[in-house]
Structure 1
Amino acid sequence: MKSFKKSCVYQIYPKSFRDSNGDGIGDLKGVMEKLDYLKMLGVDYLWLTPFFLSPQNDNGYDIQDYCRIDPLFGTMEDLERLIAKAGELGMGLMFDMVFNHTSTSHEWFQKALNGDKKFQDYYFFKEGTPGNPPTNWQSKFGGSVWEYSEEVGKYYLHLFDKTQADLNWENPMVREEIKKVIRFWKEKGIKGFRFDVINLVSKPSAWEDDEEGDGRRFYTDGPRIHEYLREIVVDTGLDADDIITVGEMSSTTIDHCIRYTNPDEKQFKMCFNFHHLKVDYKDGDKWSFMPFDFEKLKKIFHTWQTSMAEENGWNAVFWCNHDQPRAVSRFGDDGMYRKRTAKMLATVIHGMRGTPYIYQGEEIGMTNANFTHISQYRDVESLHYFEILKEQGRNEEDIYRVLRERSRDNSRTPMQWEAEEQAGFTTGTPWIGVNENCEKINVRESLADPDSVFFYYQKLIQLRKHYSVISEGSYEPVPLKQKGIFAYQRSWKKEKLLVFANFTGKHQEIEGREALDNWEILLSNDNAPKINGKKFVLDPFGAVMLYSSERV
């Protein structure tokens, strides 16, 4: 049985991973083709973003049927073969379950539109007249969270796109439907579940305008959230040791995440939070650019690491996913120091207390897309905000700069397998353009280079399995006078681990708290530093892991 504390999860965005039939869209057979590659990397679980039947308005996060495969991605038989083959290779599949909302094409919502009162109670239909919504809350994708339905004569709630209607978890029948879905996939052999924006499902009992913000304070970590999650988890057996669960928590707090993940609460094994990925949002606005605030980044990581450890919570630790720009472009140098930056960022995350997640392409150092025209973008959020920012009077040059930095499409360009046309992703025309730097950054090149980012990730994954101090140890920030240095210590019984990472483009002399001559250099992302007592020098974007153990 795998320990989730020693495990590593690899996220696959199937649409962009590998296309097996030349239609330009990645599919389940394409994932199957690359299982040996993932086994070589050493990961334990494969998280696949939704490939269920969907109109694809939000790239599959608008689900029309939770138990059917969208023909874009293959068949149930393809999936069953994938589950079996991954299992033979020692990897479990983790499915992405979107239970905050369904597509408006879902059978439940269609029945609601046709007047079925039972299914209207599956959603939030509220009184109002056209142009006069029930509250002033703003959608995560821009505009109102309310859409007027001519058929019903009421507004329905959608925290995201208007084609994604929020489910009413107050209704016990809705929760029973969700349990049926989970049991269906468990019986198919699924070993993990990721719950999309799950901390938003408990809505308030009263609906009122938000005079301070966009409404999120009323529905984030809502009044019955822990009750609901415990019910779902316990009733479906997701608290079993052989199942891995992770909740995506939007705008959450440490106190809630401790409760979400403390084993005594019988909710999730771990959760994602995104506070560290807002340190370059000017005044909290994703679409207002500023350089990232390193001191804030460091403080957020240190606070979450120490607080979760103190109360027996557990983090999912990560830089990248399908909703975020590429970390190597965002927090480092994706030019001359690209490889070193990618390794440095990996060192920081994989040395932490928590289960590390790798997003496809991160392990070869893929960068942002650098698209230059709106026609190249596919993401519904980016397309919405292109128009919103124009309406706000921003000039196009500025808008394009923000999109190049912020768009979710940065992470959705096809996986770069080789230097040939379309990066080996497809023989057809890809649904979204391939990054032009695929000639230099690709899997084939990485596997031919012993010093590649890929093999560095491979070592980090192995270290977590081998050293209990990484999987089990406490976390303590190491304060240093130098600017731009991230440092922490892990401790477990007689073992200690020190991690130092340089987020700047210059050499920095580090002075530790104690003599480090006798510490073993477990891993370094470039030249191993020469240690002289308490001091050593870190190269630009350099990182090192040091290990000490008192032998008994």
Structure 2
Amino acid sequence: MTDWWKKACVYQIYPRSFMDSNGDGIGDLEGIIQKLDYLKKLGVDIIWLSPIYDSPNDDNGYDIRDYYSIMHEFGTMDDFDSLLNEIHQRDMKLMMDLVVNHTSDEHEWFRKYDDFYYWRDQPNNWKSIFSGPAWTYDKVRDQYYLHIFSKKQPDLNWENHKVREKVYEMMRWWLDQGVDGFRMDVINFISKEPSLPDAPDGDGSPYFMNGPRIHEFLREMNDEVLSNYDCVTVGEMPGATPEDAMIYTNPKNREVNMIFTFEHMDLDSGSNGKWDLKPLNLIDLKENLEKWQHALYKNGWNSLYWNNHDQPRIVSRFGDDGKYRVESAKMLATCLHMMQGTPYVYQGEEIGMTNVAFDSINRYQDIETLNMYHEKKSEGWSHNSIMKSIYAKGRDNARTPMQWSDASNSGFTTGRPWIDVNPNYKTINVEQALQDSNSIFYHYQSLIKLRKTYNIITTGKFKLIHRHHPNVFAFERIDEHEKLIVYCNFSDSTHTFDLPNGEILIHNYHQLDSNQELNLRPWEAVVFYQN
């Protein structure tokens, strides 16, 4: 088996918001099929679907009621078979979301098997990631059950080997259908400290992140299931350090191919967490990404991402979604795609979709956002200060419908969309992007092609340059006989450097502003190639 995923580019689809084929306002599998040629044109290799399994939708599908059936809003198993076939016919692959830290409380296991979940007569003091306590009282059992997330998402007890056998059985079933891998939701939460002790301030993460048996469980999963298939695996692992990742992703350890880190996504958060806003310090970002590039070089593998269904839109977050939206979106893409790792593109990123600012909390849908709003209100925060945090960091920024055209509801649906469309769809949409040869879309297309053309992007060593420059992220990729030199301006001011030798591989302005010097204009990105 080859490491085919090292040169691949992954495109994440959030099915509910991608394309609606039947006018009910909810994206579906048939809608995805209709847009596969668009994804093929972009050049992506792997499509990752956020959960499509049967679910009561308390957390938009991450609360699974039945792992073996499709959510009725998305279609049927026949629709899934058609989708998989159409993806494979286009020489692309399909990665499914694997959600096995928890199920829905409506899963038959929750009532059928006493020992599949964590039950206690007296709960500990842990808090849920979605606000409130991490334990809920169940009248039927006269006990409390653990849920790190929503109270409708009870945590599975992986200490029970029967739980693990059921999970492995389900994974084999999907791989036998022909799926090509899994993105594993909060997979480093599956091993808890068995005593479930109280935690300072109720933060139980030291007892469930990267827990005592996590490597044992992942190796068992690999031995029992994954090693028997030519598939790709990426583990979502909040709280994992580069040192952790070296263990998780080293092929010798037989765990996962790569992980999602959260460190670079926490750099614009204050000491009170995600909703405590602070400006990004570019030097912090550079040094964090450098740390990961160095740690996993020849030891493991990085996943590269700015956006996903849980993160705000990167052009609004680290870029400029106004005057320089196109330039900054291309710059951010260039910066990411020139590093070592497998890049991930989240739907709409390739056309520069932006954050949204709904005028009422009632227009928001995300459980985390709504819970936080009510909690902060009860703590005395003003409405305006809470909304400022939601506009910056709320998960619904990523979940507004895909903007296909300037037609009604952005061409996403003929009905009423499940969540409102971002009003800027009239000017930011796929139809417009495809007609503009200088669009963000074609810049992403070029970056994906370059990865397949130049081995140095996959194999070269990373070297940070101009480390202390507060506005420019510059680095080299170095192989035995080749070098890439990458300059990315994270500001709306101009900065001057010595002009590197070499040909220009990709650039987000029409031509260089140079006369023996490199004058980096606002949000400019340029890559030089030397051999």
Is 2:506 aligned against 1:523? yes
Is residue 2:264 matched to residue 1:276?
yes
**Which amino acid in the other structure matches residue 384 of structure 1?**
N
| Cα displacement string for residues 49-103 of structure 1 (whole angstroms, at most 9, x for unaligned residues) | 0010000000000000111001110000000011001101011110001000000
Preserved contact between residue 482 and residue 510 of structure 1 (Cα < 8 Å): no
Number of residue pairs matched? 530
Q: For 2:3 and 2:446, locate their aligned partners in 1 and report how far apart those are by CA, in whole Å.
A: 18
Q: Quote how far apart the aligned CAs of 1:527 are.
A: 3.4
- Match of residue 242 from structure 2: 254
For 1:10-29, what aligned pairs fall within 5 Å after superposition? Answer: 10-29=11-30
SS in 2 for 1:393: coil
Give the Cα separation in 2 of the matches to 1:280 and 1:382: 18
The answer on 1:306 being equivalent to 2:294 is yes
- Offset from partner CA, 1:419-440 (integer Å, 9 cap, x none): 0110000000000000000000
Deviations 1:96-130 (A, max 9, x none): 0100000000000022xxxxxxx1111000122xx
Q: 1:418 to 1:446 in 2, by over 3 A?
A: same
Partner SS for 2:449: helix
In the TM superposition, what is the alpha-carbon distance from 1:532 to its structure 2 partner? Answer: 5.2
- The match for 1:56 is 57
**Residues 403-456 of structure 1 deviation map (CA, whole Å, 9 limit, x = unaligned):** 111110000000000001100000000000000000000000000000000000
In structure 2, stretches of 5+ residues that fail to align are none
The verdict on how the C-alpha distance between 1:483 and 1:376 changes in structure 2, with shifts beyond 3 A counting, is same
Residue in 1 aligned with 2:109? 108
2:194 alignment partner, SS class: coil
In the aligned structure 2, how far is the partner of 1:187 from the partner of 1:207?
36
Give a deviation string over 1:242-275, Cα, whole Å, max 9, x none: 3111000011111111111111011111110011
Partner secondary structure for residue 392 of structure 2: helix
Q: Does 1:323 align with 2:324?
A: no
Q: Could you tell me how far apart the structure 1 residues matched to 2:411 and 2:348 are?
A: 13
Match of 1:236 among 216, 225, 231: 225
Alpha-carbon offset, residue 477 of structure 1: 1.1
In the aligned structure 2, how far is the partner of 1:238 from the partner of 1:74? 31
Asked whether 1:540 is paired with 2:527, we answer no
Letter in 1 for 2:521: D
How big is the shift at 1:301? 0.7
Q: Measure, in 2, the Cα distance between the counterparts of 1:482 and 1:259.
A: 32
Task: Tell me how far apart the structure 1 counterparts of residues 200 and 105 of structure 2 sit (CA, whole Å).
Answer: 29
The alpha carbon displacement at 1:284 in A equals 4.5
Alignment of 1:44-443 (within 5 A): 44-111=45-112, 119-128=113-122, 134-211=123-200, 214-238=203-227, 240=229, 242-309=230-297, 312-443=299-430
Amino acid at match of 1:536: L
Secondary structure of the residue that 1:10 maps to in structure 2? strand
**SS in structure 1 at match of 2:200:** coil
Q: For the residues of structure 2 that align with 1:441 and 1:532, how far apart are their CA atoms?
A: 35
- Corresponding residue for residue 114 of structure 1: none
In 2, Cα distance between the equivalents of 1:208 and 1:328?
A: 41
Number of the residue aligned with 1:507: 494
Task: Tell me if structure 1 keeps the 8 A contact 2:473–2:490.
Answer: yes
Partner Cα separation in structure 1 for residue 468 and residue 84 of structure 2: 50
- Give TM-score, length-normalised by structure 1: 0.94
Which SS does the other structure have where 1:4 is aligned? helix
Question: 1:212 Cα deviation (Å)?
Answer: 5.6
Q: Which amino acid aligns with 1:258?
A: M
2:437 corresponds to which residue? 450
1:530 to partner: Cα distance: 4.5
Report if aligned partners of 2:283, 2:469 keep a CA contact under 8 Å in 1: no
CA contact (8 A) 2:283 2:468 kept: no
State the AA in 2 paired with 1:56: N
Deviation, 1:293, is 2.2
Paired amino acid for 2:396: D
C-alpha contact (below 8 Å) 1:482/1:508 kept by paired residues: no
Residue identity (%): 47
SS at the partner of 2:483? Answer: strand
* CA deviation after TM superposition for structure 1 residue 204, in Å: 0.2
Spell out, residue by residue over 1:13-41, the C-alpha distance to the aligned partner (whole angstroms, 9 max, x if none): 00000000000000000000000000000
Give the letter for the 2:252 counterpart: D
Partner letter of residue 75 of structure 1? T
Q: RMSD over aligned Cα, in angstroms?
A: 1.3
Taking the aligned partners of 1:14 and 1:149, their CA distance within structure 2 comes to 32
What is the distance in 1 between the residues matched to 2:359 and 2:217? 44
Is the 8 Å Cα contact of residues 238 and 245 (structure 1) preserved in structure 2? Answer: no
**Letter of the aligned partner of 1:435 in structure 2?**
N
Look up the equivalent residue of 2:393 and give its one-letter code. Answer: R
TM-score, length basis structure 2 = 0.98
How far off is 1:208 after superposition?
Answer: 1.4
Q: Deviations over 1:127-185 (max 9, x none)?
A: 22xxxxx2111111011111111111111110000000000111111110111111111
Q: Note closer, same or farther for the CA distance 1:91–1:2 as it changes in structure 2 (3 Å cut).
A: farther
Question: Tell me, what secondary structure is at the counterpart of 1:383?
Answer: helix
CA distance in 1, matches of 2:451, 2:514: 24
